[in-house]
Amino acid sequence: MFLWGSATSSFQIEGNIKNDFTDYEQKLGYPPYEEGSNHWKMWKDDIDMIRQLNQNAYRFSIEWSRLQPEPNTVSLEALNRYDATVDRLLEKGIEPMITLHHFAHPYWFHDVSPWHTGDSVKRFLDYSDLIFSRLADRVKYWITFNEPVVWSLAAYADAKFPPALSDLNLTMKALFNMMKAHAGAYEILKSYNSESYVGIAKHFIIFKEAREWFYPDKSTARRIDNFFNFMLLDAFITNRITVNFPPLLKFDKPINLNNKIDFWGINYYYRLHTKFKLNLKNPFLLYAKDPATDTGWEIYPKGLKKIIKLVSRYNKEIIITENGIATGNDLVRKKFIKKHVKIVRKQLEKGYKIKGYFYWSLMDNYEWLHGKSKRFGLVEVDYENNYKRTIRPSGHYYAGLIEKFFHDRKRGKINEKKSTGA
């Protein structure tokens, strides 16, 4: 079954959460979180809406801070809610895909067991085991970490996410421990259900040299590409996390990953242009070109085709776990969806092992540093009118593309070749 769905994260939509982001809200100058998109109260209607949009899958995350609001505690109320969420999705014919870690942590985590320390791995595995023990019998698709490289850089290098540090060495220690935690969670989940399908949602960016004739630009783009896009994928083959990015960073450490991954999730949004700078502390410049989204990202659909080809070299199945646009112009969103879905269909017909596509996001949400000002949703949320939901025309359009896909497949109009990793 090909998965057509949309994605969300718990913190961005649920509301009424106390976690590390709300704890750091004033310190880091985040926009007020308040009730998110009020999904914690409106969850049943939101699930019904997914079915209205012809989607057969839904990617969402568990809010760690709800399950363990204090260290060494468990909220059965929260666990029961996520249990009920899975049941309702299955009743509606919607395949759940659960993300364990989507940036947010309990408020106490960074004081008790931050990711750059070894204690973090056990904390995460205890949390994961708690979830698997309740849901592994009914949930097939799992993502351990959403964009671990992005989170590590934002939290430990750029000081934009809690714990708001600026140390590249700690960045790599944190990322290393997250991958150890992934491997451990993979083994635990397989012990509960050997048929589980486990992956990582990896953010990919197309890095293009600003000046094609200038070798330092090309070299810089290639080094950034290797670090940001493919360092982790390589690690699952080599059992080493290796970075060689002078003068900024050098890291090389063995890790027992042993190919413990069933699929790679592709989160793809945009292209960046890379310009070399003769500056040891800041040796490159990254920037976007028009056409840009409301988040300043360049729209470049061809990049998804390239990423699918490159990731396929690693001989794992692929799921497009995020692909979306922040815009106040729904016609632009419709065009964005049309172009990217067309690429997915074409690559599927060529034999690439693509198992699904998830638009980001189901509804408007709290977009981290941007608050509620950036609108990604297929569904509009009216924050001034009791969080009223309205399906946008682009949402109906995407629903039509899904319906057409299954209609075409049934009639033999989709010529899916034998899956290939090349």
Residue 226 within a domain: yes
Arithmetic mean of pLDDT, 212-221: 94
pLDDT of residue 422: 41
3-state secondary structure 65-120: HHHCCCCCCCCHHHHHHHHHHHHHHHHCCCEEEEEEECCCCCCCHHHHCCCCCCHH
Dihedral over Cα of 168, 170, 176, 181: its sign: negative
Q: Which residue has the tokens 């001034």?
A: 384
- Tokens 């019998």 belong to 137
The average pLDDT across 377-401 equals 99
By the 10 Å C-beta count (0-12 exposed, 13-18 middle, 19+ buried), 350 is classed as: middle
pLDDT exceeds cutoff 60 at 15: yes
- Pairing relation of β-strands 388-391 and 379-382? antiparallel
pLDDT-derived band at 342 (thresholds 50, 70, 90) equals very high
- The predicted structure's pLDDT at residue 36: 95
**Nearest partner of 361 among 30, 41, 39, 32, judged by Cα:** 39
147: left (phi over 0), alpha (psi -120 to 50) or beta: left
Q: Rounded to whole angstroms, how far apart are CA atoms 352 and 344?
A: 9
- Res 406: pLDDT: 94
Q: How far apart are the C-alpha atoms of 400 and 404, rounded to whole Å? A: 6
As a 3-state breakdown, the chain gives helix, strand, coil percent values, each rounded to 5, of 40, 20, 35
What pLDDT, on a 0 to 100 scale, did the predictor assign at position 413?
78
pLDDT for the residue numbered 418: 61
Pairing status of strand 197-209 against strand 379-382: unpaired
Q: What pLDDT was estimated at residue 282?
A: 83
With respect to residue 331, please indicate whether it lies within any of the assigned structural domains. yes
Residue 106, domain member (yes or no): yes
Average of pLDDT values for 369-382? 97
- Closest CA relative to residue 140, chosen from 63, 88, 194, 93: 194
Residue 368 has a pLDDT of 94
Q: For residue 198, give the nearest of 125, 291, 264, 247 by alpha carbon.
A: 264
Strands (E), 305-360: 317-322, 354-360
pLDDT for residue 420 is more than 60 = no
Beta strand 388-391 with 3-7 is: unpaired
CATH code assigned at 200: 3.20.20.80
100: left (phi over 0), alpha (psi -120 to 50) or beta: alpha
Euclidean distance between the first and final Cα of the chain, in Å?
22
**Could you give the maximum distance between any two Cα atoms of the chain, in Å?**
60
| 87 part of a folded domain | yes
Active-site positions? 322
DSSP letter for each residue of 176-204: HHHHHHHHHHHHHHHHH-TT-EEEEEEEE
Residue 245 belongs to a domain: yes
Decide if pLDDT at 421 tops 60: no
The percent of residues above 70 in pLDDT, for the chain, comes to 99
CB 395 within 8 A of CB 45: no
Which phi-psi region, left, alpha or beta, contains residue 29 (left: φ > 0; alpha: ψ -120 to 50)?
A: left
pLDDT digits (tens, 9 = 90+) for 266-320: 999 999 999 998 787 788 999 999 878 999 999 999 999 999 999 999 999 999 9
73: region left, alpha or beta (phi > 0 left; psi from -120 to 50 alpha): beta
CA angle (341, 346, 352) in 5-degree steps? 105
Average pLDDT rounded to a whole number, residues 55-84: 98
Residue 221, φ and ψ in degrees, nearest 5: -60, -40
Q: Please give the Cα distance from 242 to 252 (Å, whole number).
A: 4
pLDDT score of 415: 73
Torsion, Cα 166 172 176 177, to 10 degrees, reads -20
What per-residue confidence (pLDDT) applies to 73?
Answer: 96
How far apart, in whole angstroms, are the C-alpha atoms of residue 234 and residue 341? 27
Average pLDDT, the chain: 96
- Domains contained in the chain, number: 1
Q: Within a domain: residue 286? A: yes
Q: Is residue 48 part of a domain?
A: yes
Q: Using one digit for the tens of pLDDT, what is the confidence trace for 116-160?
A: 999 999 999 999 999 999 999 999 999 999 999 999 999 999 999
**Domain containing 329: what range?**
3-410
User: Is 392 a domain residue?
Assistant: yes
Share of the chain above pLDDT 90, in %: 92
DSSP state letter for 29: T
Question: pTM value?
Answer: 0.97
Cα Rg of the chain, angstroms = 21
pLDDT (tens digit, 9 = 90+) per residue, 22-47?
A: 999 989 999 999 899 999 999 999 99
Query: pLDDT tens across 46-64, in order?
Result: 999 999 999 999 999 999 9
349 φ, ψ to 5°? -65, -25
